[in-house]
Structure 1
Amino acid sequence: MSITVQERAVGAIIGAFIGDALALGPHWYYDIEQLHQDYGVWIDTFTEPKKGRYHENEKAGNFSQSGYILKLMIRSIIDQGGYVQKDFCKKLDEDLLPKIDGTPISGPGGYTSQSIRAIYRQRIEQKLSWDEVGSRADTTEAIERTLALAVRYAFDPKELARSISNNTFLTQVDDIVGSITVAYGAVLAQLIQGEKLDKDISTKLMRLVKSGDLPFHTVTSNNLQPPKTGSKDPSNIGLFASPDALLTPSFIAQAANDPDITIEPAWKASLVYGMPCAIYHIVPASYYLASRFHNDFESAILHALNGGGQNQARSILTGALVGAQVGINGIPKKFIDGLNEKEEVLALSSKLAALI
């Protein structure tokens, strides 16, 4: 049975929201034994945070601040028909910053991330313009909202790269974070188009680099062979330093499907790739789970969830990647029904998908 582009797009967005809400309760347990004591050895549904933990006043099925900001991004895209940075910044100024106070445990969802806290200080306390803000936080915070831009521009790689990089650098100014964030968006776009997260996906992405559609520097010829003698240096100011972030998903997909390489149970991918918050831990683990369980949303999202550590980001990113592969009809109804804002996010996702 074929899956339409719109079904894949809605699946990606709803998959991200499900990942966010599922991890609200057991978020940031770095001690797996403590996680098991509090929630049992296998979490398979929405749960409430324990007293004294992150998001402690939230209810099962609620979104964290990541989900809240993702909704702001989607609304901005729908209102403008695409990405208009001024409008998105206005929404942050009016709908987010007045609701937080610059401390970690505050605001929508009960927790404010490092990079958003920095924005609060820069905008509210230091009175800096949006052109002057940003921090060197190395998390997936920008991916968690720019995945909506990957959906909107799934068939326009140049605009995808422009909008995602511009939006990322509002809050995170590190070039490596920017390149990995854009690469994730490019991968998600390929999946929405109907491509597979397999060993060949990087070859498809590199074709977009060679055609000038994705802004990554590369000097190799096809299949990473040496450049031809006398070939020009294709580097340009403003391009990401290397295409490595685009090459990563193919290698990880190979590992995920290689019978000689085993991670069992699959949730231990969090131990292999790393449990902390940094983007270079979370994105590889998400690629691994989304490739291994490419047609099984429940297995992918629950292994992302049960891996502990920064399982919320891992679940958001994995949920979007697998949601795009199985489509909205491939996501078990129980996960959609468990969202407290189900009707709102389904409507937003459908409107966003209609813009593709």
Structure 2
Amino acid sequence: MNSSEIKDRAAGAIMGAFIGDALALGPHWYYDLTELRRDYGDWIEDYTDPKPGRYHDGLKAGQLSQAGFILELLLRSLVENKGYDEQDFCRRMDEELFPLIDGTPISGPGNYTSQSIRDAWRKRIQQNFPWGQVSGHADTTEAIERTLAIAVRYAFQPDKLATAITHNTILTQDDDTVVSMTVAFGAVLGLLVQGNRLDMDISAKLMKLVKSGALPFHAVTNDDLQPPKKGDPDPPRVGRFASPDALLTPSYMAEAAFDPDIQIEPPWKVSIVYGMPCAIYHQLPAAYYLSALFHDDFELAVLHAVNGGGQNQARAILTGALTGAQVGMSGIPKRFLDGLDKADELMQLAEHLAADMETGN
């Protein structure tokens, strides 16, 4: 894969995430699908205004939520520093986000602040704790929604990818399982930017990186999940994270997507199969499934993520990034860029990040 194709995929991943965020702004967090269809019809196909009294009331179609705001904040930090600079990111959070929120759910950019960011604000602003002591126990995809930019930047440097995503995640979320699943998502996204497809082989490629020491996951089995042999040390490969299961999930989701005997129809009902709530263990399987099923169709992937209801914004951000990385910017319908607020500015940042990648080519 040549350099221009890689950059196209990198920019597609970033813009796919922003588009997914904005597409779900209006119909965000409808757990009653009858209510969702009543307010937005049988199929949501474009950007929509939030309804009065809903989570993002007051914003307009095509604008970003606070998740998109924080992703942009980290993206700017990566571009301006030509890599991950934790001190700079924390400074930006202190200066550009925290003065705009008040520790309550309905506040700040996007008119909603997630649990982990509220926890960090209270500890940082009200209790004056230093960064490194403000993380909480939220089990959401909040960190993935920003660190996907790190995954793109270090797509060809999995060791740096894992280290930077780990360090950034634990600023706001300290549950080790959440951290491992966040790093695993970044590793998957990195492989997709490189030119791989989200298919049944993706986990084997990830496990090779574990074996080489590039990804910090513990693995007690040998290749292809075969049992350890007598005399093998215990364990044969030791990493920061307790097991490699977060790296194995994507291939199982891809297998389900490609198996003709497994039918989820219509595909947006994957949200019911894996669960509508916010927790990372509901969100990742659905995003992996949709991105494998629609690996060459960005529009269908992200719209099925949105139309599934519940925490569809996180689902659409993750699905948008994974599918955008597979189809590239050239595969994202122009109408999604035309309707996205600040699209030119965001696209310029995405292209700068892509240009800064060290591909080794």
Could you tell me the TM-score, scaled by structure 2's length?
0.97
The one-letter code of the counterpart of 1:120 is W
Gaps of 5+ in 2: none
Task: Tell me, in whole angstroms, the C-alpha distance in 1 between the residues paired with 2:199 and 2:322.
Answer: 12
Shift of 1:340: 1.1
Q: How many residues align?
A: 356
Secondary structure of 2:37 counterpart: helix
Task: Tell me, in whole angstroms, the C-alpha distance in 2 between the residues paired with 1:14 and 1:79.
Answer: 18
Task: Tell me, in whole angstroms, the C-alpha distance in 2 between the residues paired with 1:237 and 1:195.
Answer: 26
Task: Tell me, in whole angstroms, the C-alpha distance in 1 between the residues paired with 2:72 and 2:132.
Answer: 23
Once the two structures are superposed, the pairs formed by residues 192-231 of structure 1 within 5 Å of their partners are: 192-231=193-232
1:47 matched to 2:48: yes
Partner of 2:73: 72
Shift of 1:95: 0.2
Task: Tell me, in whole angstroms, the C-alpha distance in 2 between the residues paired with 1:253 and 1:347.
Answer: 32
Partner of 2:248: 247
Once the two structures are superposed, the pairs formed by residues 56-71 of structure 1 within 5 Å of their partners are: 56-71=57-72
Shift of 1:237: 7.6
Task: Tell me, in whole angstroms, the C-alpha distance in 2 between the residues paired with 1:22 and 1:131.
Answer: 33
Shift of 1:235: 6.8
Task: Tell me, in whole angstroms, the C-alpha distance in 2 between the residues paired with 1:286 and 1:73.
Answer: 22
Task: Tell me, in whole angstroms, the C-alpha distance in 2 between the residues paired with 1:336 and 1:318.
Answer: 17
Runs of 4+ with deviation above 6 angstroms: 235-238
- Contact 2:192–2:326 (CA<8 Å) still a contact in 1? yes
Task: Tell me, in whole angstroms, the C-alpha distance in 1 between the residues paired with 2:325 and 2:214.
Answer: 22
Gaps of 5+ in 1: none
The one-letter code of the counterpart of 1:315 is A
Shift of 1:101: 0.4
The one-letter code of the counterpart of 2:300 is S
Task: Tell me, in whole angstroms, the C-alpha distance in 1 between the residues paired with 2:90 and 2:122.
Answer: 15
Once the two structures are superposed, the pairs formed by residues 161-180 of structure 1 within 5 Å of their partners are: 161-180=162-181
The one-letter code of the counterpart of 2:310 is G
Task: Tell me, in whole angstroms, the C-alpha distance in 1 between the residues paired with 2:103 and 2:297.
Answer: 39
Shift of 1:216: 0.3
Secondary structure of 2:125 counterpart: helix
For residues 301-327 of structure 1, the C-alpha deviation after alignment (integer angstroms, 9 at most, x for no partner) is: 000000000000000000000000000
Shift of 1:153: 0.3
The one-letter code of the counterpart of 1:271 is I
Task: Tell me, in whole angstroms, the C-alpha distance in 2 between the residues paired with 1:132 and 1:260.
Answer: 48
The one-letter code of the counterpart of 1:72 is L
Partner of 2:26: 25
Shift of 1:233: 2.1
- Contact 2:218–2:238 (CA<8 Å) still a contact in 1? no
Once the two structures are superposed, the pairs formed by residues 272-311 of structure 1 within 5 Å of their partners are: 272-311=273-312
Task: Tell me, in whole angstroms, the C-alpha distance in 1 between the residues paired with 2:129 and 2:237.
Answer: 30
Partner of 1:343: 344
For residues 245-270 of structure 1, the C-alpha deviation after alignment (integer angstroms, 9 at most, x for no partner) is: 00000011000000000000000000
Once the two structures are superposed, the pairs formed by residues 254-265 of structure 1 within 5 Å of their partners are: 254-265=255-266
Task: Tell me, in whole angstroms, the C-alpha distance in 2 between the residues paired with 1:23 and 1:178.
Answer: 25
The one-letter code of the counterpart of 1:331 is I
Task: Tell me, in whole angstroms, the C-alpha distance in 1 between the residues paired with 2:80 and 2:260.
Answer: 47
1:146 matched to 2:147: yes
The one-letter code of the counterpart of 2:86 is Q
For residues 17-68 of structure 1, the C-alpha deviation after alignment (integer angstroms, 9 at most, x for no partner) is: 0000000000000000000000001000000000000110101100000000
Shift of 1:234: 3.9
Secondary structure of 1:55 counterpart: coil
Secondary structure of 2:171 counterpart: helix
Task: Tell me, in whole angstroms, the C-alpha distance in 2 between the residues paired with 1:220 and 1:177.
Answer: 22
Once the two structures are superposed, the pairs formed by residues 151-162 of structure 1 within 5 Å of their partners are: 151-162=152-163
- Contact 2:217–2:239 (CA<8 Å) still a contact in 1? no
For residues 287-344 of structure 1, the C-alpha deviation after alignment (integer angstroms, 9 at most, x for no partner) is: 0000000000010000000000000000000000000000001000001111011111
Task: Tell me, in whole angstroms, the C-alpha distance in 2 between the residues paired with 1:308 and 1:292.
Answer: 19
For residues 201-246 of structure 1, the C-alpha deviation after alignment (integer angstroms, 9 at most, x for no partner) is: 0000000001100000001111000112111124788610000000
Task: Tell me, in whole angstroms, the C-alpha distance in 1 between the residues paired with 2:337 and 2:232.
Answer: 52
The one-letter code of the counterpart of 1:316 is I
Partner of 1:9: 10
Partner of 1:318: 319
- Of all paired residues, the percent bearing the same amino acid is 64
Task: Tell me, in whole angstroms, the C-alpha distance in 2 between the residues paired with 1:338 and 1:241.
Answer: 43
